[in-house]
Structure formats: structure tokens, C-alpha cells
Amino acid sequence: MQLAHPLRRGATDLFFVCETASEDTTMIRGVHTMFYTSKPDELRAYLRDKLKLPFTDVGEGWLIFDLPEAEMGCHPADAESAPSGTHYVSFYCDDIQRSVADLSKRGVVFVDPITDAGYGLITHFVMPGDVKVQLYQPRYRKNKPAAKKAAQPRKKKPSPKQAVAKKRQRRA
């Protein structure tokens, strides 16, 4: 059973996608982000066509973008720019100069120059519906992900009727 737990702050929601606990599953297996915009169709097309993000079409115009990886940081709150409880979404890349050049050719308009923020190189662009996001080239190198275990088939839980029938068979 999957549960989505929203945490709403400002223009984005974060959803932690969870699995019910069992011995062979990890409870949290990803982060789902959302942009609230006055132009959802235009923003979906922008993410698909200009940023070239892979997606799943879930029907009726809804596209869920399948990002190749994610990470989450926890930063100290700042009363002037980021009060406690604020969520922030940024896209990151390995080479910000090349990424800005490639994205600009696709029509992405950057609203400030690339600057050194200490923790990495940053710039910003605005997407349809006035959604401002950061493009970021981190200074750190991520650890290699832990080796994945071979996929194990999940045992399908029996329906209540099947469970009762199985108990009766054991008694007989």
C-alpha cells in the first residue's frame, strides 16, 4: 500500500512516497515534488520540451516527471529569506556553463548571471506561471549509491476470503 503525505509550504508541495513497513522493504523510496502554477499545461510542456525531463503520462493531460535522481538537504532557517518550514526546489547539473548554454538554445530564459554562492555555482530561470527555480552546480561530489540488492518478488497478500479459506484448509 502506498501513502502520500503532503507537506505544504508556499508554491511547492513535497510528498514522501512510502511503502507500508515490512521486513523486506524500505519505507521511504523517493520524494515527489509539485509546482502550483496558474499555467499547468504550459508548465508541463516546458518541463517536457525545454528541460527534456522524462515523464509518465498518467492520463487527462497529467504528466508526472521521472527525475533521474534526487537529494535532500536540511539548512538553517533565515528569517529574511527562508523562514522555518520553507521548501525549496532546485535543479542541479555537473557543468552549469554548458547546461545554461544548452537550455538557452531551447528557449529557457535565465534571469540572473551565474554566480558563486560558496556552496556551488547558481543561476535562476522562471517557468510558466511565474515559477522561479534555481539551477545549481554543487561543489561536493555525491557518494556512490549503495549497491542495489537483486529485486525480490513481493508476496501478494491474500484477500480476506482467501485467508479464511486457507485457515479452513489447515484445520482440515
Instruction: Convert the pLDDT of each residue in 32-78 to its tens digit.
Output: 888 999 999 999 999 999 999 999 999 998 999 998 888 888 888 98
10-26 b/e (C-beta count within 10 Å ≥ 16 → b)? eebbbbbebeeeeeeee
pTM (two decimals)? 0.66
Q: Is 14 in contact with 6 (CB distance < 8 Å)? A: yes
Please tell me the total count of domains within the chain.
Answer: 1
Q: Is 134 in contact with 122 (CB distance < 8 Å)? A: yes
Domain membership of residue 6 (yes or no) is: yes
Helical H segments across the chain, by residue range:
40-45, 96-105, 160-171
Domain membership of residue 31 (yes or no) is: yes
Q: The domain containing residue 32 runs over which residues?
A: 1-36
Per-residue pLDDT of 66-113, as tens digits, reads 988 888 888 889 888 788 888 888 999 999 999 999 999 999 999 999
113-124 b/e (C-beta count within 10 Å ≥ 16 → b)? eeeeeeeebbbe
Domain membership of residue 99 (yes or no) is: no
